Amino acid sequence: MRGVGALIVGGGPAGAACVLTLARAGLPHLLIERTAETGDALCGGFLSWRTLDRLAALGIDADALNRDRLTEVRLFAGGRVRIAALPRPALAVSRRRLDTLLLARAVEAGAAVERGMTVRSVDGARARLGDGTMLAAGTLFLASGKHDVRGLARPAIARGDDPTLGLRQRLPPGPGLTRLLAGAIELHLFPGGYAGLALQEDGGANLCLAVHRSRLTAAGDPAALIAALGRELPALGERLAFADAATPIEAVANVPYGWRARRAEPGVVRLGDQAGVIPSLAGEGMGIALASGIAAAATYARGGPTAMGAWQGRFARTLRRPLAVAGLARWLGEGPLAPAAVQAAPAALIEVIARLTRLAA
């Protein structure tokens, strides 16, 4: 049995923000990450203005992520389009770039990080690794993203009868894609789901979809679904014309949008998507990841393990409004009223929704 003070499981934005904050506080800790090298996680990569403020406090300059800013949101539904200004400039970035910079900053601050280690199961604040090693911690910070860990799986009821899947296909950089997407985050709404697009630091874009399993089943497979959507939605089809058919389509199953960890489990603190899963059209997933990692670590630094049970409940209450507003927007976006809502919604209302789906500063 190997003992550690605070054990952070996962090296994405939530885990990296947590371990960086703990390292700055000089507290004993260990972060373990299953990948030996940073990859590009399935993620739209949108960073809101408030998320950029949090990253700046962690020592990450926005220009190091992407020099180009997003200043407007475009909503497409049923042949209609509505454009609104974002409250403040935002940006899109690959997870490879973001995670690399965050973990590097954490290591510079003295964080203990071990990579290439897989957690097979968790029992309270104890974790069993793939090689059989047992780690025992005063507090375990679970930051494994959308992937559950055996022993701490989120309840299946959160996924519903027609669960949502996430799909991602990369669109390569090029002047045509830049002409269509420069300066904007786009949401293409359709019955049973929605797709998002924004230019990342290399000029390419992630086509990210949240789609109900029934819609995918009807299409047959992810490639057939995307092709069908390109025919159904002309504006999206214009962007898909720049896709490379050889680029793989990645998927993550059963995303429990709207779920929150409302109470603590003994010895365990949930961060990021393990604390709450906001519908992806809100663009606040990484904001929640960073905010949870920073806030949980700061609470731990002040009060130690005994303070963490109350923190989980407080954070769940902080998530209530953003998740509720995003859930309503998702319901409208996926339903038959989406075209009428897009046509009728004034730009000012879209800006208000953008503000209400941000996590409180």
Consecutive 10-residue averages of pLDDT for the chain (361 residues): 88 97 96 89 90 97 97 94 95 96 96 92 86 89 88 70 91 96 97 96 95 94 95 96 91 89 92 94 94 97 93 96 95 89 85 90 67
86 near 351, Cβ under 8 Å? Answer: yes
| Domains defined for the chain, CATH in brackets | 2-44+93-158+256-355 (3.50.50.60)
d(CA 229, CA 218): 12
Q: Can you tell me which residue has the tokens 């910070």?
A: 141
State pTM to two decimals: 0.95
pLDDT of residue 309: 87
45 near 95, Cβ under 8 Å? Answer: yes
pLDDT of residue 135: 87
Residue 223 corresponds to which amino acid?
A
d(CA 301, CA 286): 23
pLDDT of residue 172: 96
pLDDT of residue 226: 95
pLDDT of residue 156: 64
Starting at the edge strand that comes first in sequence, how are the strands of the sheet with 250-255 ordered?
46-47, 80-92, 70-77, 184-190, 193-197, 205-212, 164-171, 250-255
Q: Which of 104, 69, 73 is nearest to 357 (CA)?
A: 73
d(CA 309, CA 233): 47
94 near 66, Cβ under 8 Å? Answer: no
pLDDT of residue 161: 80
- Strand ranges, E, within the chain: 2-9, 29-33, 46-47, 70-77, 80-92, 113-115, 119-123, 126-129, 134-142, 164-171, 184-190, 193-197, 205-212, 250-255, 268-270
Secondary structure (DSSP) of 220-248: SSHHHHHHHHHHH-HHHHHHHTT--TTSP
